[in-house]
Amino acid sequence: MDQQQTKTRGVADIVFLIDISGSMAPAIDALKANIGTFVESLSKGEGNNVSPVRDWRAKAVGYRDFDHDAQPFIDNPFVSDVEALRGQLAGLTAEGGEDEPESLLDALYKVASMGQTEKGAQSTDPTKWRYRSDAARVVVVFTDASFKPSMSIPEARGGGVQDVTNAIINSRIILSLFAPDMPGYDELSQIDKSEWEAISYPGLNPQDALVKFTGDQANFKNTLRQLAASVSKSAETIAL
How much is the pLDDT for 147? 96
Residue 236 has pLDDT above 90, yes or no: no
Residue 203, in any domain of the structure: yes
Q: What is the pLDDT of residues 143-185, one digit of tens each?
A: 999 999 999 999 888 889 999 999 999 999 999 999 999 999 9
Lowest mean pLDDT, pick from 8-12, 40-44, 124-128, 204-208: 8-12
Residue 172, in any domain of the structure: yes
In angstroms, the CA 182 to CA 186 distance is 8
Q: What is the pLDDT of residues 17-45, one digit of tens each?
A: 999 999 999 999 999 999 999 999 999 87
How much is the pLDDT for 150? 93
How much is the pLDDT for 157? 83
Q: Which pLDDT band, with edges at 50, 70 and 90, does 47 fall under?
A: low
How much is the pLDDT for 1? 36
What letter represents residue 208's amino acid? D
DSSP secondary structure of the chain: --GGGEEE--EEEEEEEEE-SGGGHHHHHHHHHHHHHHHHHHHHT-STTPPP-SEEEEEEEEE--TTT-SS-EE----B--HHHHHHHHHT-------SSPB-HHHHHHHHHTS-BPPTT-SS--TTSBPPTTTSEEEEEEE-SS-B-SB---GGGTS-BHHHHHHHHHHTTEEEEEEEES-TTHHHHTTSTT-EEEEE--TT--HHHHHHHHHH-HHHHHHHHHHHHHHHHHHHHEEE-
Residue 240, in any domain of the structure: no
What CATH number does the domain containing 135 carry? 3.40.50.410
How much is the pLDDT for 158? 80
Residue 6, in any domain of the structure: no
Please tell me the total count of domains within the chain: 1
How much is the pLDDT for 3? 41
Residue 215, in any domain of the structure: yes
Q: Which pLDDT band, with edges at 50, 70 and 90, does 99 fall under?
A: confident
Residue span of the structural domain in which 169 resides:
14-235
Q: What is the pLDDT of residues 114-123, one digit of tens each?
A: 999 998 888 9
Q: What is the pLDDT of residues 188-230, one digit of tens each?
A: 999 999 999 999 999 999 999 999 999 999 999 999 999 999 9
